[in-house]
Amino acid sequence: MMIDPVLATGAQASTAIVVLLGAVAKWRRPAAFRQALAGYRLLPDALTAPAAFVITATETVGAAALLFPDTRMFGAIALIALLLAFAAGLAFNIVRGHTDIDCGCSGFAATQAATQAAMQANPPRGIGWFHVARALLLAALAATAFIEPAARSIVWFDYLTLFFAALLIVCALLTFDVLLANVPRLSHLRNS
């Protein structure tokens, strides 16, 4: 099986950008991420802080590695493992009915200064199957690194296509992040 090199690079670059945005938010607010990770109740309290650091560092290094051909496989393996672990942790909590926690995704909304105060006062709470689907989608996009790209010459239009494809995928994923972050608020408004 082969994939067009522009599509593969667009998928990988988009994944790297989205994951890096989440990692930046986690680096900026490490206490909030540690608290979200503790909310999953999957690790002993003593391991929460080191695990939060390792997760954030793995996101950063894996996403950066995904951007370069020499380190792309390492980045893909690291991100796929991490995203599958996220999906498993989310699914485990959903199945056991523990859905009133912060996903810890720290998506696009968390990187904006204007929303940080609002998030600290009223953090987004609630996870669902869409969070699992988002993690699996990002893992699938990163997995395109394992598909051999078709051999063809790259022309100037391909770079333009790559730029807009990556921009479209990133915007779609970030819009999905914002919608997921607002699901609990929308449900509260609908029920009131």
pLDDT in tens, 17-50: 999 988 998 999 999 999 989 989 999 999 999 9
pLDDT value of position 121: 52
pLDDT in tens, 101-129: 887 776 555 544 444 455 455 555 678 88
Quote the CA–CA distance of 144 and 5 in Å, as a whole number: 10
Span 52-59, average pLDDT: 95
pLDDT value of position 139: 96
Q: Which domain holds residue 52?
A: 2-191
Backbone angles phi, psi at 181, to 5 degrees: -65, -25
pLDDT higher for 16 or 168? 16
pLDDT value of position 111: 44
pLDDT in tens, 154-167: 777 778 887 888 88
Q: Is the pLDDT of residue 147 over 80?
A: yes
pLDDT value of position 166: 81
User: What percent of the chain shows pLDDT beyond 90?
Assistant: 44
Going by pLDDT thresholds of 50, 70 and 90, the confidence category of residue 184 is: low
Q: Count of domains in the chain?
A: 1
Span 133-144, average pLDDT: 93
